[in-house]
Chains A and B, each alone.
Chain A
Amino acid sequence: MEFFLQQTVNGLTLGSVYALLALGYSMVYGILKLLNFAHGEVYMFGAFAGYGMLTILGGSSALVVPVWLALVLMFLAAILASSAIGVALERFAYRPLRQSTRIAPLISAIGASFFLQAAALLMFTANSRTFNTPQLIAIDSGIPFGPIRVWMVRVLVIVTSFVLMVLLYLWVNRTKTGKAVRAVSFDREAAAMMGIDVDKVIVVVFLIGSALAGIGGVMVGLVFGRIFHIMGFVAGLKAFTAAVLGGIGSIPGAMLGGLMIGLAEAFTTGYISSTFQNLIVFGLLIVVLLIRPSGLLGRPELVKV
């Protein structure tokens, strides 16, 4: 029972990070029909920005500011770096290709992902960095959850992600900009004719998606300690799986998919073997796609004849 709960908490932690990342994939796909393969790299840069801020503030063991302020500043740094990269990607790698064939932006995204990874290798080298979180937030801090105790950092990650997701959901469904986002994702041309500034909406989507990815990056650094220049690839692939699983383009779908992938991974690692973690996750995706080609909560695309 304890083990089961422990794995559930692990899965939820991992899953909420995946969900944050998946949201970025899903929103961009919903609005541009573009698989933003560089999203994982945006997340990786967010993690490094958070680490950079931590270093500037003296490092985990010798902080010059209170812990809460350090955390806030780290997240802010990550949000800034990630959204700057995300918006630059949109402006320079994707916007020139809006009118071109379907494959062009996909290749551009792969190229951008490659470029960003190499840039990270150049700037941060191949060495991994560690956040030393236990020095920041004691490992025995936390809240009781049945027979186990959940580390404060995990609580922070899970709660923050859920709050962010709820906020995003409300924003998309309740605000004027959110409505514009939905309108553009439904029919870009019609939305433009109704006076919606499509370019602006797309920038906003990239901004929010990338900011969420940056937050996810810092969270992963805090929970799992290590960050490295190719961390974006695997995480991006998993988040992407989550987005597809839930139904790419669907915001609740991305959340659901993220949590499912996180839990599936945690239980596979816990009960079977970490060797098969990826195999099972990808297998799960393929099975779901075979049964529901547009994902769990996605809507099938209509073709006009």
Chain B
Amino acid sequence: MTAPDETGIGVDEWVEQSEGRREGHTGFTAPARRLFDKLTPGSRLTLFLLAAATYPFLVRGSDVRIGITILLLAMVALGLNVVVGWAGLLDLGYVAFYGFGAYFYAIVASDQLPAHWPTWIAIPIIVAASALLGALLSLPSRRLVGDYLAIMTLFFAQIFVELVRNFERLPFVPDDLNLTGGPNGIPGVKPFEFFGFEFNGQELLGGTLPTFSRQYYLVLVFLGLLIVGLHNLNDSRTGRAWRALREDTLAAEHMTMPVNRLKLLAFAVGAGIAGLSGALFATVQNGVFPNNFNLFVLIIMYAAVILGGSGSIPGVVLGAVAIAYVPELLRDPTKAGLLFYVGIAVVLFVLVRRWDKIAATVGGVFVLGLVVRFFSSRIWDESILGEVNDTSLSRLLDDWVLNFESQRDVITSYAFVLAIVGVLLVVLATGWWKIAALIPTLYLAILVWENKLVFQPSITRQLLFGAVLVVMMAVRPQGLLGTRRVEIM
């Protein structure tokens, strides 16, 4: 034994010098991140709520609806975050609880049933019923871990949609009872109403609010309460136990944590939040339809959680804002164009990072465009006579990029495939080869954008979601505000 006797227990120079080694934030987002770190959770929430509360006064009436969509997505994503981000349970059936809450509210607050329930009774019952359903569905899944849990819950979600679509055709259901409205859904859902106060008008305290404001503030209040509650829960023994379970279920079990009960609780809490959000969704939309709860919606929820940072409350809210707001920008061609070219500029800076190379790329794309246009217009003049998107940006580019009058769909399809191949080459290439691949790729991307995508916001949105998920996983799997995670396999 070589240990000298004067070694006391736990003398550690590393710890003593720790202050000097602390890493600060770097990069151009550092000031914002330092500021974010300095704020207490309470002041962050206050700032967020203040900003959110002024939103309806800053936009036109119909845009308030976008705000409602954002807030609702934030709520439901926070619930998903409990199950996936904290407890680490891969629940692909989550959207079913959202649907359950929505349909439940729609049924008791529309003409589907003769009896209309008062909101203040319906809401607690819906939350409790959703939580119970979540707990029940987690029972058979107890033995399953990881991927198998994901599989099982995915099928629960599919079964939910099937049931809702075919409710009246199920066995043992009387012919005249059509609770879910089948594929047509339930229109005409009543607004929330608390003791005579309806959440659908515009007047409040004698003043007039922008349209939809009552619903907006209703959702905002729920979201604020939810954030406070979840923040408290995260820093409690239950929250810690969930995270311990996520990190290492077996070790958690050895450290006095009742794993099965905690899993059940996580499912129930997540489902309860989803049920509440669903009920709010039903009242805001004035109706529910099977397609509101399909896999696409689930993926949007996951995208919000993952983009923002799984496990982080501010992250998930930020993710929801990004995921719900960006597609709305795409609807307006001017904003969409701006978004596209700003996006390209950002990608260029992140990818290339050197001024001479960026200049070379931009110059290269410009020259390539002129050359292609010159030859193309000589050979086939329909290639420049196409309809131009009616925004100043597109008109500016009309003298540079090709605009096809006929065969537009076929040509853009090929250009699209080539652009994808180009992107893949850019990822693989290094040095100046990267630039060489980037120039035609960018040109093709702009070509496809101006000729097709700008007219197809819904396709663009879907492409964008898919690409964001893939790229995000490769570049920053912890999300915008999440902390890096390690995992031993």
The reply to whether A100 and B140 form a contact with Cβ atoms under 8 Å apart is no
Q: How far is the CA of A103 from the CA of B417 in the complex (A)?
A: 29
Across the interface, name the chain B residue whose C-beta is closest to A35: B147
Choose, from A5-13, A112-120, A156-164, A171-179, the stretch at the interface.
Answer: A112-120
Asked if B47 is an interface residue, CB under 8 A from chain A, the answer is no
In B162-180, the 8 Å CB interface with A consists of 162-163, 166, 169
User: How many residues of A are in contact with the other chain, CB < 8 A?
Assistant: 54
Q: Which of A93, A107, A237, A286 contacts B152 (CB 8 A)?
A: A286
Q: How far is the CA of A91 from the CA of B428 in the complex (A)?
A: 10
| Nearest CB in chain B: distance from A217 CB, A | 18
Asked if B158 is an interface residue, CB under 8 A from chain A, the answer is yes
Q: Which residues of A contact B122 (CB under 8 A)?
A: none
Q: How far is the CA of A96 from the CA of B147 in the complex (A)?
A: 20
Per-residue CB contact flags for chain A residues 224-246 toward chain B (1 = under 8 Å, else 0) read 00000000010001001100100
| Nearest CB in chain B: distance from A260 CB, A | 15
| Nearest CB in chain B: distance from A140 CB, A | 35
Per-residue CB contact flags for chain A residues 98-127 toward chain B (1 = under 8 Å, else 0) read 001111111110111111111101111100
Asked if B374 is an interface residue, CB under 8 A from chain A, the answer is no
The reply to whether A111 and B468 form a contact with Cβ atoms under 8 Å apart is yes
Asked if B124 is an interface residue, CB under 8 A from chain A, the answer is no
Q: Which residues of A contact B159 (CB under 8 A)?
A: 279, 282-283
Q: Which residues of A contact B456 (CB under 8 A)?
A: 122
Choose, from B69-77, B284-292, B398-406, B470-478, the stretch at the interface.
Answer: B470-478
Q: Which residues of A contact B299 (CB under 8 A)?
A: 110, 114
In B51-77, the 8 Å CB interface with A consists of none
| Nearest CB in chain B: distance from A29 CB, A | 8
Q: How far is the CA of A122 from the CA of B417 in the complex (A)?
A: 10
Q: How far is the CA of A112 from the CA of B471 in the complex (A)?
A: 10
Q: Given A121-B459, A286-B155, A289-B151: A93 and B416 within 8 A (CB)?
A: no
Q: How far is the CA of A28 from the CA of B409 in the complex (A)?
A: 35
Q: Which residues of B contact A118 (CB under 8 A)?
A: 459, 462-463, 466
User: How many residues of B are in contact with the other chain, CB < 8 A?
Assistant: 53
Q: How far is the CA of A37 from the CA of B395 in the complex (A)?
A: 40
Across the interface, name the chain B residue whose C-beta is closest to A273: B169
Most buried by A among B162, B169, B302, B413: B162
Q: Given A117-B462, A289-B151: A123 and B250 within 8 A (CB)?
A: no
In B246-285, the 8 Å CB interface with A consists of 250
The reply to whether B469 and A106 form a contact with Cβ atoms under 8 Å apart is no
| Nearest CB in chain B: distance from A25 CB, A | 11
Q: Given A101-B485, A111-B469, A114-B469: A121 and B462 within 8 A (CB)?
A: yes
Q: Which of B155, B306, B409 contacts A241 (CB 8 A)?
A: B155
Q: Which of A29, A115, A282 contacts B466 (CB 8 A)?
A: A115
Say whether chain B's binding surface is mostly helix, strand, loop, or mixed: helix
The reply to whether B477 and A282 form a contact with Cβ atoms under 8 Å apart is no
The reply to whether B148 and A289 form a contact with Cβ atoms under 8 Å apart is yes
Q: Which residues of B contact A91 (CB under 8 A)?
A: 424
Q: Which residues of B contact A96 (CB under 8 A)?
A: 473-474
Q: Given A97-B473, A122-B459: A282 and B158 within 8 A (CB)?
A: yes
Q: Given A106-B150, A118-B459, A275-B166: A285 and B155 within 8 A (CB)?
A: yes
Per-residue CB contact flags for chain B residues 84-117 toward chain A (1 = under 8 Å, else 0) read 1000001000000000000000000000000000
Q: How far is the CA of A292 from the CA of B452 in the complex (A)?
A: 49
Per-residue CB contact flags for chain B residues 385-416 toward chain A (1 = under 8 Å, else 0) read 00000000000000000000000010011001
Asked if A303 is an interface residue, CB under 8 A from chain B, the answer is yes
Q: How far is the CA of A121 from the CA of B460 in the complex (A)?
A: 10
Q: Which residues of A contact B222 (CB under 8 A)?
A: none
| Nearest CB in chain A: distance from B91 CB, A | 11
Q: Which residues of B contact A276 (CB under 8 A)?
A: 166
Q: How far is the CA of A289 from the CA of B142 in the complex (A)?
A: 12
Asked if A193 is an interface residue, CB under 8 A from chain B, the answer is no
Per-residue CB contact flags for chain A residues 71-94 toward chain B (1 = under 8 Å, else 0) read 000000000000000001001110
Asked if B237 is an interface residue, CB under 8 A from chain A, the answer is no
| Nearest CB in chain B: distance from A102 CB, A | 6
| Nearest CB in chain B: distance from A252 CB, A | 19
A-B contact pairs, 29 of them (CB 8 A): A93-B473, A101-B485, A102-B487, A103-B84, A103-B310, A104-B473, A111-B468, A111-B469, A111-B470, A112-B470, A114-B299, A114-B462, A115-B462, A115-B470, A117-B466, A118-B459, A121-B459, A121-B462, A122-B452, A122-B456, A123-B413, A240-B151, A244-B148, A244-B151, A273-B169, A282-B155, A282-B159, A286-B156, A303-B250
Given contacts A35-B150, A290-B140, 19 further A-B contacts (CB under 8 A): A97-B473, A97-B474, A101-B487, A102-B487, A102-B489, A111-B466, A112-B469, A112-B470, A114-B469, A116-B466, A119-B420, A121-B459, A240-B151, A273-B169, A279-B166, A285-B155, A286-B156, A289-B144, A305-B250
Q: B residues bordering A, Cβ < 8 Å?
A: 84, 90, 140, 143-144, 146-148, 150-152, 155-156, 158-159, 162-163, 166, 169, 250, 295, 299, 302, 306, 310, 409, 412-413, 416-417, 420, 424, 427, 452-453, 456, 459, 462-463, 465-470, 472-474, 477, 485-487, 489
